[in-house]
């Protein structure tokens, strides 16, 4: 016996659906039936609770409005008297009374929907919940502007933060920038206080030169294994004094054309008395005196930097000009400057701690017993050996802020091998006062100030063969750099070849207008090729306004290269159960309503790891991520309703299908057996739809519940078309059609499913076995599935089922799939009309 | 109607491979019992019930002609039945072309000059074995209308279904082609052949496919073939589980071990279920890959016959299925099988030993018997036993009570009805020995039949059990009879019980045993051996008697053949009990022994009745030895 509660909803339902007929019908079947003018009212709720208590009911059907409307109210009401999952709602308002004016048909449809609900609720079981403890500590991966801001926000909220950065210094790409749009303020000035705050904050523990090596655990308790690269310099002892970094290397142009090794010692001809003391003191044969009373000769390849010669010289004729003789292109300056084998990435690096590069360091790579840096280091920070460190950390949540990198354009029509073709970030270094030229804009090839600078936009972006997406920030940063050049050097001819200029943002349009006023030439031009032109370059492009080819002779070409996920981001996608979008960036759980959540609970994203975006958006993201983390870890434990999937281990053949299907990493393999991680499971049911052995199923919305709904409906009305509609979109669209009184046939009977991907092939075919006229699936819009790709799975399954229906002579037209958003009530009605038309019987 | 079957997973998981039936002493059709059990349970079937659902649909649908239009068909009065192949191609979700087998079949028929009429549709095999008997009957009626003549099939399940379940004139393509196909024109390859249960064990067709394969390839046999062939692990889409997977993996390993290039079989389902192992997401190279090829395709390819592609382009407009008004006819279905079949089971559990999935059909039999009893379809003598037990508490209606009461003792001796009423010597000998050992025991007042016979025959035994519990009063029990022992141990659940042979095991040293020079054969009682696992104990005990030489029956221990008396057969079907008893005793004659020794008075009763050699209980031997008597 089931308690059936019928709501009249004033005249909303009772005006069309004959409540008396329904009452008689279900009374006759032996159920306990009550009705009320407004079940949702306090009196209505009291009626439900009183009836349940008095009659000792253990399952209930409430036939009223859409569960999306008052489902919550009734769940609370039911939950006061029985388990809050022991009821089912039949939507006889939005999806019945409001879809037709035909009273008989509406009553008949209501009967079918309620029967479906009655049959379904017989298979409901009480559902409990579990408390899962969470750790109030967060790992933030990536210490760029987004990661740092998120760390500070979290620390401010009282959480302990572990900030992991694979580079030796914090700041990511932003510390490379000269100035930032739309205010033209100095990037370093903006970020410096943040860098210092992060360094000083007691709740933030920083691990530089560190990457995540292993990732395991569950939401609320993730275990990360961190691998710290050796610095070969004692982090605590190094004061950043720079004694080891002493260098007198001069580059004539910011193109790397330096010898690999330079002299450490200069012998002053003036002071040298040719006494030979230095020659005698040198134990390594680096100083030689051809004959007495000649100036000694110095051999840089033999000098080990012991400085004995210098101590021996009484006349200060020997001067240390380079402590480390090794010269390597600077990674920080993107190859435009140089560094030593013992170095800091840049002079303002935070933390300002030196490190040694084991590949180039003469001591570490075994070339010689070099003592250069060690013998000048006052605090004795230079380490003989350093094997790095491996550490395990336990955290409750993870924020991934691993950022972007510039797309590699080598080997393309842009001829990036030419030194005078640079990327946007390289230009930042050329413009930066802390950069290799000290902020002087010169041609890398020869150090001459360029006469013409041409910017090429969308280099690699908005290109079907490369990166299909727009990199979003290039229009603005190219405009910014063009303006900076123009204002410092009005004589330089600055041109920008663009595809479309996108200046959407506060103050952006004004900023761009100003650039135009300054005399920067914006050409809507599709660049075909950049070719050498004497010692200059020729940019060949098509003026897409005039449709004619133009050639732009240039001294410096700046490519606004596409932004792509950084190596770190790609590594995280492999290591952590994250879903990557087809652009390669980490996909958020929902692009609109959950932009910093990922598919894996407890893992959040911010900054350009998610998509190309300007700094201010990175900050917004980071704040949002911190806020989401705080909500997630707010309590000591999370309460999870066990509506999740479960696995029958005897049935499970360990085929691994469910694990592959699950985008939430909710299915883990432990000792060769699969298990569901309850707090990760979102109960979408995609796994259950595809498990060949029936070993996995949901506790709520399981196979038999969905089947029973269909059976109940079909038993009442053989002419039904069953419409499996996803809870996220299809069902709402149908509700909307009803609310708008956008009528459609009462043959359509909607069954709510968590995701269209929950609907198995058997669910699709079952109504046909019972003689149904048709079956339709209403899923979220393509690429907008709330469970990432459930609608794609469903679509594939529909294709398979269609083939079978054809073979069986039932006809594939009777099974239709369509994508619809929550807002598209009319589209739902159109889809209904189509299937009715396609299945018309003569 | 009361549906008592439930809670037992075995009958749903059974693959109905029929291995058990082949060893059943009473030759019970166990798969037949299983499918009836399933009728009551309506199992859902793996793949979320998908394929049972499609079969129900196929039972009523008119499938499109999907075989290649290039084939020569419809001229001769022979039918070809290709089966459900396109459904599997469409719905399994991985790339397959199982349809090609059907095209190959007709191409082969064309090759030998036959232009068959094609019957598209489902054979109903899975409906039948999944217990969807009402759907099956609908299909049966439709097929009967469509087919009037000889049907050729290439699929083992279709063969079995059409021939044995629909009663049609069916020939397997391997039988038809035998002698009409000459050697390979393409190349010789090594193959191994997997016997589908439906063709092999069900219909004894082992050699026809082999001889045809032998004429076009080199055939290597797997470790288990023909009657012993391992099942592919799944039938009627019901039993995909971890045990089935292990079975499939083992089968594929066997196939790989033969060194064959291809594993050929004549059942599409065997192909699918074996193929499945290779399509699992977690497949990492074990078992090694071996192509699983349909018999028809293999033959056609070997002799270079072109197999055309299936037809395509079906209409997407079609007819809705007729709504099926099914009536629940349990009685009709249950009585369609012979009641004898069910009541001929001696509950010896020999079948369980044979099952690759360690499933115990006896549980289903006992469960089913309860249903039959509740309907009053049980054999008449069983009813009389119930009456007698209700009146006297003794199976034989013996009013005389054996009581040997002392005060509160540590042990209770439980002689059992047979020892009390039909084999008093066993009881007195036991008492002699127990007394000689100085055991503190009594035969308390109120002890009645253990209830075994009621339990085994589907009756309620709780009234006896309650009475015994009271009489035993928590003391340790020593039982003479294997049946009592197993019942007290397994059905009561709260009794600490030992069989007398176990009790005596470490106590014979204390007795002055004299030599008995005799060769005897030891017969394992089913309820002591297979049911309780006591094989070594009784032999050890018997070996302690000086002079006794123990010989083994050809089938002993786990494989021991039943005496024929158990499970109510002795009373319900005396002829069967006698014939089984005779068989066992004839074996003993061949062993040339002085006596058959066993440890169950019920076995003793039935064996002695059906042979000329004396049958003795171990206890009786020990007592003789104690008294210095010879056999």
β-sheet bridge partners, residue A765: none
Identify the pLDDT of residue A406: 97
Q: Do B198 and B140 fall into the same domain?
A: yes
pLDDT digits (tens, 9 = 90+) for B244-298: 899 999 999 999 999 999 999 999 999 999 999 999 988 999 999 999 999 999 9
Q: Which residues of A are less than 8 Å from B87 in CB distance?
A: 804, 807
Closest residue on chain A to B277 (Cα): A655
Task: Identify the pLDDT of residue A165.
Answer: 97
Report how far residue A325's alpha carbon sits from residue A329's, in angstroms, rounded to the nearest whole number.
13
Q: Kindly give, in sequence order, each residue whose CB lies less than 8 Å from that of residue B579, ignoring residues fewer than 6 positions away.
A: B564
Ramachandran area for residue B223 (φ above 0: left; ψ -120 to 50: alpha; else beta): alpha
Same domain as B584, residue B499: no
Sheet arrangement for strand B411-414: B441-442, B411-414, B476-479, B497-499
Distance, in Å, from the CA atom of B379 to the CA atom of A57, rounded to the nearest integer, reads 44
Report pLDDT for B403: 74
Are A652 and B320 an interchain contact pair (Cβ–Cβ within 8 Å)? no
* Domain region containing B51: 47-302
> Does the residue B154 lie in any domain?
yes
CA of A807 vs chain B CAs: smallest distance (Å): 5
Kindly list the residues from chain A whose CB atom is less than 8 angstroms away from the CB atom of residue B58: 808
Residues in chain B closer than 8 A to A657 (CB atoms): 280-281
| Dihedral angle, C-alpha A285, A286, A290, A291, nearest 10 ° | -70
Question: Hey, where are the domains in chain A?
Answer: 1-127, 265-320, 409-564, 642-697, 701-842
Give residue B326's pLDDT. 75
Q: What pLDDT is stored for residue B11 in this prediction? A: 80
Task: Tell whether B236 and B108 lie within a shared domain.
Answer: yes
Q: How far is B9 from chain A (nearest CA, A)?
A: 11
Per CB-CB distance under 8 Å, the chain B contacts of A768 are 57, 320-321
- In a domain, residue B139? The reply is yes
pLDDT of residue B258: 96
Asked if B335 is an interface residue toward chain A (Cβ–Cβ < 8 A), one would say no
Phi-psi label, residue A584: left if phi above 0, alpha if psi -120 to 50, beta otherwise: left
Share above pLDDT 70 across residues of chain A, in percent, rounded to a whole number: 99
Chain B residues within 8 A of A651 when measuring between CB atoms: 240-242
Say whether A762 and B241 touch across the interface (CB within 8 A): no
The alpha carbon of residue A586 is apart from the nearest alpha carbon of chain B, in Å, by 24
B97-113 average pLDDT score: 96
Q: What is the mean pLDDT of residues B175-181?
A: 89
pLDDT higher than threshold 60 for residue A256: no
Scanning every residue of chain A, which has its alpha carbon at the shortest distance from the alpha carbon of B247?
A: A653
What's residue B2's pLDDT? 35
> Average pLDDT of A171-188?
95
Same domain, residue pair B426 and B513: no
pLDDT for residue B617: 95
Cross-chain residue pair A800–B93, CB shorter than 8 Å = yes
**Residue B470 sits in the same domain as residue B578:** no
Say whether A409-564 and A265-320 share the same fold.
Answer: no
Find the distance separating the first CA and the last CA of chain B, reported in whole Å: 55
Distance from the A159 Cα atom to the nearest Cα atom in chain B, whole angstroms:
40
Q: Please judge whether A807 and B64 are an interchain contact, meaning their C-beta atoms are less than 8 angstroms apart.
A: yes
A659–chain B nearest CA distance, Å: 9
| A653 to chain B: closest CA residue | B242
Residue of B nearest to A764 (CA): B50
**Superfamily, domain A409-564:** FAD/NAD(P)-binding domain (3.50.50.60)
A332-360 burial, b at 16+ Cβ within 10 Å, e below that, comes to bbbbbbbbbbbbbbbeebbbbbbbbbeeb
**Three-state SS annotation for A473-486:** CHHHHHHHHHHHHH
B330 has pLDDT over 80: no
- Residue A255 confidence class, pLDDT cut points 50, 70, 90: low
Is B369 inside any structural domain?
no
Contact A807 B319 (CB under 8 A): no
The number of domains in chain B is 3
Residue B610 lies in a domain: yes
User: Which one is predicted more confidently, B473 or A27?
Assistant: A27
For the stretch A601-623, what's the b/e string if a residue is b when 16 or more beta carbons lie within 10 angstroms of its beta carbon?
A: bbbbbbbbbbbbbbbebbbbbbb
pLDDT score of A439 more than 80: yes
Q: What is the pLDDT of residue B351?
A: 92
Burial code (b: 16+ CB inside 10 Å, e: under 16) for B597-628 equals bbbbbbbbbbbbbbbebbbbbbbbbbbbbbee
pLDDT, one tens digit per residue, over A269-285 is: 889 988 889 988 999 98
Count, residues in chain A = 842
pLDDT of residue A253: 62
C-alpha distance from A769 to closest chain B C-alpha (Å): 5
Cβ contacts (< 8 Å) between A660 and chain B: which residues?
281
Residues B489 and B585 in one domain: no
Domain A701-842 has CATH 3.30.200: no
Judge: A653–B322 Cβ closer than 8 Å, yes or no.
no
Same domain, B248 and B208: yes
pTM: 0.80
For position A811, what pLDDT does the model report? 95
The beta-strand segments (E) located in A595-747 are 603-605, 637-641, 645-647, 667-670, 673-676, 696-698, 721-726
Q: Do B549 and B489 lie in a common domain?
A: no
Mention every residue, 6+ apart, whose C-beta is less than 8 A from residue A340: A245, A247, A322, A323, A324, A326, A327, A328
Domain ends where: B302, B324, B350? B302
Residues of B in contact with A689 (CB under 8 A): 48
Q: Give the Cα separation of B536 and B538 in Å (integer).
A: 6
Q: Give yes or no for B269 touching A (CB within 8 A).
A: no
Which chain A residue has the Cα nearest residue B311?
A: A807
Per residue in B208-247, pLDDT (tens digit) is 999 999 988 999 999 999 999 999 989 999 988 888 899 9
Question: How far is it, in rounded angstroms, from Cα A298 to Cα A301?
Answer: 9
Please tell me which residue of chain B has the smallest CA distance to A714.
Answer: B323
Does domain A642-697 sit in CATH 3.40.1080.10? no
Residue B6, pLDDT score: 32
pLDDT of residue B349: 93
Partner A contacted by B91 (CB < 8 A)? yes
pLDDT, tens digit (0-9, with 9 covering 90-100), for A720-741? 999 999 998 999 999 999 999 9
Give residue-wise pLDDT tens across range B545-589: 999 999 999 999 999 999 999 999 998 899 999 999 999 999 888
Pair B463, B600 in one domain: no
pLDDT digits (tens, 9 = 90+) for A312-342: 999 889 999 999 999 998 999 998 888 999 9
- Alpha carbon distance B553, A625 (integer Å): 78
pLDDT band at B323 (very low <50, low <70, confident <90, very high): confident
CA distance A225 to chain B (A): 26
Q: What is the mean pLDDT of residues B392-416?
A: 83
- Of B489, B504, B519, which closes a domain? B504
B528 and B477 in one domain?
no
Cβ contact B57–A769 (<8 Å): yes
Fold for the domain defined by A1-127: Rossmann fold (3.40.50)
Q: Which of B504, B522, B540 is the last residue of a domain?
A: B504
Over range A554-558, report the average pLDDT: 96
pLDDT at residue B367, as a whole number = 87
Report the mean per-residue pLDDT for chain A.
94
In a domain, B84, yes or no: yes
Interval A91-119 mean pLDDT: 97
Substitution target in B12, B50, B63, B64 with the highest count of A β-carbons within 10 Å is B50
Give yes or no: residues B483 and B531 share one domain: no
Do residue A650 and residue B242 have CB atoms under 8 angstroms apart? yes
- As to burial, measured by CB atoms within 10 angstroms (0-12 exposed, 13-18 middle, 19+ buried), residue B142 is middle
Are B91 and A807 an interchain contact pair (Cβ–Cβ within 8 Å)? no
Averaged pLDDT, B339-343: 79
**B517 and B613 fall within a common domain:** yes
Mean pLDDT of the region A197-214:
96
User: Could you name the CATH architecture of A265-320?
Assistant: 2-Layer Sandwich (3.30)
């Amino acid at each position: 016996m089931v308690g059936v509660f019928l709501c009249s909803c004033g005249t909303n339902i009772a005006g069309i659906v004959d409540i008396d007929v329904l009452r008689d019908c279900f009374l006759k079947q032996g159920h306990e039936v009550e009705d009320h003018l407004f079940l949702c009212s306090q009196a209505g709720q009291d009626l439900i609770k009183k009836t349940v208590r008095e009659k000792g009911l253990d399952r209930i059907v409430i036939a009223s409005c859409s569960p999306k409307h008052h489902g919550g109210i009734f769940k609370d009401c039911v939950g006061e008297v029985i388990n809050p999952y022991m009821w089912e709602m039949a939507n006889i308002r939005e999806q019945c009374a409001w879809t037709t004016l035909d009273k008989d048909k509406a009553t008949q449809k209501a009967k079918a929907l309620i029967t479906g609900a009655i049959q379904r609720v017989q298979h409901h079981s009480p559902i409990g919940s579990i408390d899962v403890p969470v750790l109030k500590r967060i790992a933030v991966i990536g210490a760029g502007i987004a990661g740092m801001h998120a760390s500070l926000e979290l620390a401010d909220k009282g959480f302990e933060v572990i900030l992991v950065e694979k580079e030796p210094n914090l700041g990511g790409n932003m510390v490379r920038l000269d100035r930032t749009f739309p205010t033209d303020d100095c990037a370093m000035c903006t970020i410096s206080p943040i860098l210092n705050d992060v360094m000083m904050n007691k709740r933030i523990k920083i691990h530089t030169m560190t990457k995540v090596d292993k990732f395991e655990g569950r939401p609320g308790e993730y275990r990360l294994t961190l691998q710290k690269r050796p610095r070969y310099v004692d982090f605590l002892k190094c004061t950043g004094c720079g004694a080891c970094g002493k260098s007198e290397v001069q580059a004539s142009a910011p193109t790397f054309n330096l010898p690999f090794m330079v002299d450490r010692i200069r012998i002053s001809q003036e002071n040298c008395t040719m006494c030979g003391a230095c020659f005698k003191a040198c134990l390594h044969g680096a100083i030689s005196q051809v004959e007495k009373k000649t100036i000694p000769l110095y051999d840089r390849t033999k000098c080990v930097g012991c400085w004995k010669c210098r101590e021996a010289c009484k006349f200060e004729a020997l001067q240390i000009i380079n402590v480390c003789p090794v010269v390597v292109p600077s990674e920080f300056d993107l190859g435009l400057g140089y560094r030593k084998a013992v170095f800091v990435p840049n002079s303002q690096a935070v933390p300002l701690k030196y490190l040694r590069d084991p590949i180039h360091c003469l001591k570490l790579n075994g070339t010689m017993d070099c003592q250069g840096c060690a013998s000048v280091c006052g605090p004795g920070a230079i380490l003989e050996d350093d094997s790095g460190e491996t550490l395990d950390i336990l955290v409750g949540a993870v924020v991934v802020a691993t950022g972007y990198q510039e797309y590699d354009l080598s080997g393309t029509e842009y001829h990036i091998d030419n030194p005078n073709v640079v990327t946007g970030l390289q230009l930042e270094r050329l413009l930066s006062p802390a950069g290799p030229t000290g902020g002087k804009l010169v041609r890398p090839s020869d150090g001459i100030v360029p006469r013409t600078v041409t910017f090429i936009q969308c280099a690699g972006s908005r290109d079907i063969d490369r990166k299909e997406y727009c990199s979003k920030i290039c229009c603005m940063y190219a405009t910014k750099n063009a303006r900076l050049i123009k204002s410092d050097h009005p004589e330089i001819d600055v041109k920008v070849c663009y595809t479309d200029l996108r200046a959407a943002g506060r103050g952006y349009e004004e900023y761009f207008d100003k650039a135009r006023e300054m005399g920067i030439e914006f050409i809507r031009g599709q660049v075909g090729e950049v070719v050498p032109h004497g010692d200059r370059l020729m940019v060949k492009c098509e003026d897409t306004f005039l449709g004619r080819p133009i050639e732009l002779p240039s001294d410096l070409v700046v490519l606004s290269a596409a932004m792509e996920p950084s190596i770190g981001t790609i590594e995280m996608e492999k290591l952590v159960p994250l879903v990557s979008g087809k652009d390669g960036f980490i996909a958020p759980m929902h692009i609109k309503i959950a932009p910093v959540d990922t598919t894996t609970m407890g893992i959040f994203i911010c900054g350009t790891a998610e998509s190309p975006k300007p700094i201010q958006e990175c900050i917004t993201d980071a704040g949002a991520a911190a806020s989401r983390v705080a909500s997630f870890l707010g309590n000591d434990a999370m309460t999870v309703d066990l509506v999740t999937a479960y696995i029958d281990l005897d049935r499970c053949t360990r085929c691994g299908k469910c694990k592959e299907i699950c985008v939430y990493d909710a299915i883990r393999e432990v000792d060769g057996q699969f298990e569901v991680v309850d707090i990760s499971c979102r109960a979408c049911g995609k796994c259950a739809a595809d498990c060949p052995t029936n070993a996995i199923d949901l506790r709520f919305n399981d196979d038999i519940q969905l089947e029973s709904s269909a059976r109940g409906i079909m038993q009442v009305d053989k002419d039904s078309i069953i419409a499996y509609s996803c809870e996220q979109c299809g069902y709402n669209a149908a509700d909307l059609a009803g609310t708008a009184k956008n009528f459609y046939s009462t043959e359509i009977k909607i069954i709510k499913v968590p995701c269209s991907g929950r609907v198995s092939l058997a669910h699709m075919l079952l109504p046909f076995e019972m003689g149904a006229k048709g079956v339709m699936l209403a899923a979220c819009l393509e690429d907008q599935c709330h469970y990432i790709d459930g609608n794609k799975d469903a679509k594939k399954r529909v294709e398979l089922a269609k083939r079978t229906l054809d073979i069986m002579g039932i006809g594939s037209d009777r099974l239709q799939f369509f994508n619809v958003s929550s807002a598209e009530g009319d589209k739902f009605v159109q889809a209904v009309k189509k299937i009715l038309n396609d299945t018309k019987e003569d | 109607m009361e549906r008592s079957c439930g809670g037992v997973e075995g009958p749903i998981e059974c693959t109905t491979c029929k291995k058990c039936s082949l060893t059943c002493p009473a030759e019970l059709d166990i798969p037949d019992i299983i499918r009836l059990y399933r009728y009551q349970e309506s199992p859902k079937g793996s793949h979320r019930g998908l394929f049972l659902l499609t079969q129900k649909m196929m039972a009523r649908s008119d499938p499109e002609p999907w075989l290649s239009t290039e084939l020569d068909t419809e001229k001769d009065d022979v039918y070809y039945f290709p089966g459900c192949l396109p459904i599997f191609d469409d719905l399994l979700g991985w790339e397959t072309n199982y349809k090609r087998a059907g095209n190959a079949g007709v191409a082969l028929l064309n090759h030998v000059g036959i232009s068959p009429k094609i019957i598209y549709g489902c054979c109903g095999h899975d409906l039948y074995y999944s217990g969807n008997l009402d759907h099956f009957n609908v299909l049966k009626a439709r097929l009967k209308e469509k087919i009037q003549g000889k049907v050729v099939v290439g699929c083992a399940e279709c063969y079995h279904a059409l021939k044995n379940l629909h009663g049609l004139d069916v020939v397997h393509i391997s039988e038809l082609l035998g002698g009409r196909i000459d050697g390979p024109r393409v190349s010789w390859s090594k193959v191994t052949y997997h016997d589908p249960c439906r063709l092999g064990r069900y219909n004894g067709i082992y050699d026809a496919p082999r001889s045809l394969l032998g004429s076009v390839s080199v055939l290597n046999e797997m470790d288990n073939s023909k009657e012993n062939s391992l099942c592919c692990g799944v039938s009627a889409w019901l039993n995909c589980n971890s045990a089935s997977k292990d079975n499939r993996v083992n089968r594929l390993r066997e196939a790989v071990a033969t060194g064959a290039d291809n594993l050929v079989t004549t059942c599409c389902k065997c192909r699918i279920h074996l193929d499945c192992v290779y399509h699992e997401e977690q497949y990492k190279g074990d078992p090694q890959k071996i192509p699983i090829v349909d018999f028809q395709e293999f033959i056609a390819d070997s002799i270079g016959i072109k197999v055309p592609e299936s037809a395509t382009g079906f209409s997407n407009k079609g007819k809705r299925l007729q709504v099926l008004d099914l009536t629940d006819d349990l009685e009709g279905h249950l009585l369609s099988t012979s009641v004898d079949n069910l009541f001929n089971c001696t509950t010896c559990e020999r079948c369980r030993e044979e099952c690759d999935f360690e499933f115990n059909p006896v549980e289903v039999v006992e469960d089913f018997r309860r249903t039959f009893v509740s309907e009053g379809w049980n054999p008449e003598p069983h009813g009389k036993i119930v009456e007698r037990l209700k009146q006297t508490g003794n199976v034989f209606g013996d009013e005389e009570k054996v009581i040997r009461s002392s005060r509160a003792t540590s042990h209770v001796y439980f002689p059992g009805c047979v020892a009390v009423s039909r084999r008093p010597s066993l009881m007195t000998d036991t008492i002699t020995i127990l007394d000689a050992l100085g055991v503190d025991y009594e035969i308390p007042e109120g002890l009645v039949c253990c209830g075994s016979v009621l339990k085994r025959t589907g009756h309620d035994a709780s009234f006896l059990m309650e009475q015994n519990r009271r009489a035993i009063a928590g003391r340790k029990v020593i039982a003479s009879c294997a049946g009592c022992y197993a019942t007290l141990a397994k059905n009561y659940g709260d009794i600490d019980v030992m069989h007398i042979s176990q009790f005596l095991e470490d106590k014979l040293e204390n007795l002055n045993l004299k030599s008995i020079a005799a060769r005897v054969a030891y017969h394992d009682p089913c309820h002591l051996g297979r049911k309780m696992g006591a094989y070594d104990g009784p032999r050890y005990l018997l070996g302690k008697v000086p002079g006794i030489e123990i010989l083994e029956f050809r089938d002993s221990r786990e494989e021991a053949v039943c005496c024929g008396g158990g499970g109510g057969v002795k009373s319900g079907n005396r002829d069967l009990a006698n014939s089984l008893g005779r068989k066992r005793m004839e074996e003993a004659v061949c062993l040339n022994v002085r006596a058959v020794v066993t440890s169950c008075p019920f076995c003793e009763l039935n064996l002695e009745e059906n042979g000329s050699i004396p049958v003795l209980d171990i206890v009786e031997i020990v007592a003789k030895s104690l008294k210095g008597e010879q056999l």
